[in-house]
Amino acid sequence: MKPTRSFFLITVCLCLPALPAVGQFYPPMTIDPSLLKFLPEDAAFTATVEVSNRSEGYRWPVRVAFLKGQTRVETDISKMERDRKVPMWTDYVGRMEQAGSAQSVSSFSGEKKSVFIVLPSLKAYMEQPIPDDALPQLEKRPKARKVEMGTEEVAGRAATKTKLNFNKDGMDIWRTWETPEAIVWMAKETPGIPLRIQVLDSVGEINAALAFTDIDSKKPAADLFAPPKGFTKCDQESLMKRIMEKWLRDK
């Protein structure tokens, strides 16, 4: 299968880079098909998720919403906790807060054929269209082989533990070659809502872990997955300009 060119140029799904060069825009977290394949196709709920990555050494609580293949993630970089010290990290986060780029909202929508990045403090957003050659792949949701692993308690709630496995040989948009497996704990009283997900890489090691809390099973409003009204649409260059206008300069 010929790989489709990636359209996630400014987004990060399950792993994050180390400290960017000062003055760059720290990429917000976006939940794309590489994680959506481990959730029910009709998933519709809101929750707080602590995303952790052992190799990168961070834990990051974010607020997420799912609506039938659309995703929304609210992030605040100042809430990220790191297991090891990163030079200049505190200074960098402070500059982001000064510039209005520490908080962001990202949404992925195959329905709208776009990824949106919103900076609420700057009342600005950027739209990244999903390429036409990627859209057919989005419609071909891969099927998982499921292995039931019993029942366990997660945060005081009974959960069904299941291992999901996908074909590693294709499905570029769904990234089955990079994240072919996951162990998912689904709440027994609400089978369509996960309590925990461990995403496994191509060699079976945990790539990232997600713990779901503060779950609201009510279907999110559709307008959450589009840019807010009254916000200014920017391209990447003009959005960076807005950030740098407020970026704290060295004395």
Q: What is the pLDDT of residue 25?
A: 58
DSSP string, 189-244: SSTTSEEEEEEE-TTS-EEEEEEEEEEE-SPPPGGGGSPPTTPEEE-HHHHHHHHH
CA atoms of 175 and 157, how far apart (whole Å): 31
Integer Cα distance of 133 and 131 in angstroms:
5
pLDDT at 250: 59
13: pLDDT strictly greater than 80: no
Mean pLDDT rounded to a whole number for the chain: 84
Per-residue pLDDT averaged across 15-28, rounded?
A: 48
Mean pLDDT of 160-173: 86
Amino acid 194: pLDDT: 95
d(CA 89, CA 18): 10
Task: Pick the more confident residue, 83 or 109.
Answer: 109
Helices within the chain (DSSP H only) = 33-36, 89-99, 135-139, 236-246
pLDDT in tens, 53-98: 877 778 899 999 999 899 999 999 999 888 778 888 888 889 889 9
